[in-house]
Amino acid sequence: MNRKSTNIFWHKMQINREKREELLDQKGILIWFTGLSGSGKSTVASALESKLYDMGKLTYLLDGDNVRYGLNSNLGFTKEDRSENIRRISEVCKLFVDAGLITIATFVSPFKEDRDRARKLLGDDFIEIYVDCPLEVCKKRDPKGIYKKAISGKIKNFTGIDSEYEVPHDAEITISTHISSLEDCVNKILNYINL
C-alpha cells in the first residue's frame, strides 16, 4: 500500500527567501553538527548560538533529543529509524533556511549516506561540523548516563557501542573538543562562516 499522496502541488509564495533575508539582514544557512554522543555537539552549538545572538543574528537550534520529544517521537534507533529521523530534520532545516534563519542542527547522524542526503538537499547552504572526540573521552563524560546503559545492554543500537559511526572526511570544519577550548571551537566556526 502506497501512502504517498500524488495530488500535491508546490504553491509559490509572494514573499520569497531573498525578501526574508533582506528583512533579517542575514543569509539563511544550516550549520550541521555531527559526532558521538558526549562529544560536545550541543555545548558548542549552544555557545555558538549565544554568540550569534549577541551579534544580532536570528538563529534556531534544533537538538537531536529535543526533536525526538515531538516531531520524531514515533522513531526508535534502528538504522532505518535513524535515517528517517535525519531525513525529516533535513526537510525542517530546509524550511528554516528558506525562512532566512541561521539554523543550527545537532544530531549524532552516524551514517554518511544520511548526511550526504542532507547536504544535497541544502546545497551550498549546508555547513558540516564534525565534532571529533575519542569514544573513551565521550564515555567518561557520559552526561546523560547512556553509555553505561548501552555497555550493560540496557540500550540497543547505540552509536559507538553496538552501532557504527561513519566519520566524515569531507566536513567543512572539524573541531576537537577534547583538545580545544569551547571558545576556540566557537571562534573557528565563526571565522569559517564569516558573517
What digits encode the pLDDT tens for the residues 77-120?
A: 889 999 999 999 999 999 999 999 999 999 999 999 999 999 99
Query: Which residues contact residue 142 at a Cβ distance below 8 angstroms, ignoring those fewer than 6 apart?
Result: 38, 148
* Residues with active-site annotation: 109
pTM: 0.92
User: Does 95 show up as a binding residue in the annotation?
Assistant: no
| SS3 at position 33 | strand
User: Does 35 show up as a binding residue in the annotation?
Assistant: yes
Nearest Cα to 108, choosing from 91, 72, 145, 83? 83
User: Does 90 show up as a binding residue in the annotation?
Assistant: no
Q: Are 106 and 60 in contact (CB under 8 A)?
A: no
What band does 195 get if pLDDT is binned at 50, 70 and 90? confident
User: Does 61 show up as a binding residue in the annotation?
Assistant: no
Position 186 pLDDT exceeds 90: yes
What band does 46 get if pLDDT is binned at 50, 70 and 90? very high
Q: Which CATH architecture has domain 17-134+165-193?
A: 3-Layer(aba) Sandwich (3.40)
The helix (H) or strand (E) run that includes residue 175 is strand 173-176
Sequence ranges of the domains in the chain: 17-134+165-193
Position 170 pLDDT exceeds 70: yes
User: Does 38 show up as a binding residue in the annotation?
Assistant: yes
